Amino acid sequence: MKTHNKSSKDQALLISVAESIGSTLGAIAAKADAAQKAITGSSIVSDVKRETKKLAHKSKRAAVTSKGSAKRSKPARAARKTTKRVAGNSRRAKK
């Protein structure tokens, strides 16, 4: 009867050690996963970078478009015409 009691104590000790080892391995795996994500960059970081590039590209394109349309606008053409006329008059006056 004594061997049966000792066997159950040994079994309880083995279960306790196994649980401790399992929880330690789980913690190590979680830390390794977190370190890998920190090194490679998570998907959130790559999404933010991608969206930032898209926004920068759109803003540059809008700036070029607005600059071109501002040059072609009626007041802009009139201003250039007046500037050319004034510049031409001053050249003639110098001669």
For 60-81, how does the pLDDT look when each residue is reduced to its tens digit (9 = 90+)? 888 887 776 666 677 777 777 7
Query: Which pTM value belongs to this model?
Result: 0.37
According to the model, what pLDDT value does residue 90 have?
A: 56
Query: At a CB cut-off of 8 Å and minimum separation 6, what does 70 contact?
Result: 76
- pLDDT bin (cut points 50, 70, 90) of residue 1 is very low
* Span 9-26, average pLDDT: 93
What value does the mean pLDDT of the chain take? 79
How far is it, in rounded angstroms, from Cα 6 to Cα 13?
A: 11
How far is it, in rounded angstroms, from Cα 25 to Cα 11?
A: 21
| Tokens found for residue 11 | 């079994």
- Please state, in angstroms and as integers, the Cα–Cα distance from residue 32 to each residue in 7, 28, 95, following that order: 37, 6, 82
Q: What is the residue type of 67?
A: K
- pLDDT bin (cut points 50, 70, 90) of residue 28 is very high
Where are the chain's structural domains? 1-40, 45-95
